[in-house]
Chain A
């Protein structure tokens, strides 16, 4: 079974550039979560969607960050313009909101470095 697929695995770019991270959730999962992992704050939620609708984006750091889920099998997290402090590992996870007490399934993450 295909798990959560994220791309790219690694991204190195210069500050000021636009960065787009992509996620394909597990087929049949209707909840999708974007997390960011940093040394200081651990794994923190940025935004999540249920049935393609954003439910909570209070974790999005600032207006430079945006996320979309145009359909049930694809989501993007965009940073424009990027800054060095955005460097982190970004994880996407999915789960089913139809089944209680189930774990979230994580992708392998995108390691982002902004120079």
Chain B
């Protein structure tokens, strides 16, 4: 059974702080790693799909890195804003048309 672990479970930062969280996964038979942003009462929104070891992707103040050999990905948020408050999910993906295996998420709360 594949296990996707995220840490920390929750995080509270002040506006302007930069933060990061971790997604760990089995490194064998890796195919793709997905990051989603999930605001309360909304649907999960895709941030990144990462596939190659050493990949770095960026979207505004949010960026992610991937290490497939050791089985982890980091998500960074630079200069957190209250609107960044959400749960950030990572998921292991397989070939197209297969299901994702999600971690339980890191819930970020940003105070102004």
Contacts and interface: CB of A to CB of B under 8 A. Distances in A.
A89 to B, nearest CB: 10
Interface stretch (A65-73, A75-83, A101-109): A101-109
B95 interface: yes
Contact residues on B (Cβ < 8 Å of other chain), bracket: 20 to 34
A42 B102 contact: yes
Interface string B26-61: 000000101010000011111001010000000000
A102 B32 CA distance: 9
Contact of B97 (A31, A43, A44, A105): A31
Interface residues of A, number: 31
A101 B89 contact: no
A108 B42 CA distance: 6
Given A42-B104, A44-B102, A108 B49 contact: no
A22 to B, nearest CB: 15
B99 A103 contact: no
A103 B34 contact: yes
Given A42-B102, A102-B49, A103-B34, A91 B96 contact: no
Nearest to A96: B96
Interface string B54-98: 000000000000000000000000000000000001000101111
Interface of B: 32, 34, 36, 42-46, 49, 51, 89, 93, 95-105
